[in-house]
Amino acid sequence: MTDMVFYERAVPLNRDRHHKLKIDVRQNDFSFAAKTNSVLLAGSELAEAARDYPIVFVGQEGGPFTMAALLGLEANRNLFVDEQGRWSPNTYLPAFARRYPFVLAGTDASEDLTVCIDEACEYLGEASGEALFGADGQEAAYLKNVLDFLRLFHTEMTRTSAFAARLAELGLLVPKVIAVEREGKKQQLEGLWVVDEVRLGQLGDEQSVSLLRSGYLGWIHAHLLSLGNVARLARRMDESSVPA
């Protein structure tokens, strides 16, 4: 899963190039996310997100791993975004989607991160909305809040990667395949991993206490509870295909 899944034309934010740019802050327009069946998730979001989505680990054998919330059971379909681009009410909205059209981008060879913006975003323009820069060329209050949010999300995702790496180190992650059959067609979601409860129960006292003190044990339990949402997601998929 890529961190740039929503972005068609992400470019570095530049005060000269974008000094007149404004963003129409819409309350519930997530049409950009309508064709993704999962989004990356930070561990700090687990408690809330686990109520609505199955939370899994994603990665390949040997890692690295991170976490994701499943939004659908078919490719290119988000069951939580309707035809008008509205996110399903009363469900948790992952930070991964909330940050759009902004993103922190970097390369594997450098720890430096660049603030980027998707110039293809439909609600960017110069006519109306929240200004990104003031008349003096300095960051506007709105943009400052965005930057704080991006930095916090990056920090939390780094922490989440460390969490997943620790679980892999302890041998707690096992592969999980979700099979979906619909209208006579079978489809599988692969590259998913979950915590093995048997192995978790077999950990020694020192390892268990370490997970508890780090806050990881609570995250593990939220992850395990969230897996019950797979059945709910399947029902949502079936209901969405029933003619009105």
Q: Report the candidate in 109, 1, 115 with the shortest Cα–Cα distance to residue 59.
A: 1
Give the C-alpha distances (Å, rounded to integers) separating 2 from 10, 228, 232: 14, 25, 26
Question: For residue 56, what pLDDT is reported?
Answer: 97
Please report where in the chains the tokens 């079978």 appear, as a residue: 186
Q: Quick: pLDDT tens for 82-91.
A: 999 999 999 9
Using CA atoms, how far apart are residues 75 and 63, in angstroms rounded to an integer?
Answer: 23
Contact 177, 190 (CB under 8 A): yes
Kindly report the average pLDDT of the chain as a whole number.
Answer: 90
Using CA atoms, how far apart are residues 75 and 191, in angstroms rounded to an integer?
Answer: 13
What percentage of the chain reaches a pLDDT higher than 90? Answer: 73
Question: For residue 192, what pLDDT is reported?
Answer: 93
For 113, half-sphere exposure in the C-beta direction (CA atoms, 13 angstrom radius) is 13
DSSP letter (8 states) at residue 36: -
Question: For residue 152, what pLDDT is reported?
Answer: 95
Q: Quick: pLDDT tens for 128-147.
A: 899 999 988 899 999 999 99
Contact 190, 179 (CB under 8 A): no
Question: For residue 1, what pLDDT is reported?
Answer: 56
Angle at 189 between CA 186 and CA 195, to 5 degrees: 135
Give 234 or 110, the one with higher predicted confidence.
234
What percentage of the chain reaches a pLDDT higher than 70? Answer: 93
| Domain segments of the chain as ranges | 10-237
The mean pLDDT value for 167-192 works out to 84
Question: For residue 2, what pLDDT is reported?
Answer: 63
Using CA atoms, how far apart are residues 125 and 225, in angstroms rounded to an integer?
Answer: 43
Is the pLDDT reported for residue 242 higher than 70? no
Is the pLDDT reported for residue 61 higher than 80? yes
Q: Quick: pLDDT tens for 142-162.
A: 999 999 999 999 999 999 999
Question: Would you place residue 177 in the very low, low, confident or very high pLDDT band (cuts 50, 70, 90)?
Answer: confident
Question: For residue 107, what pLDDT is reported?
Answer: 54
Question: Would you place residue 105 in the very low, low, confident or very high pLDDT band (cuts 50, 70, 90)?
Answer: confident
- Phi and psi at residue 171, to the nearest 5°: 75, 25
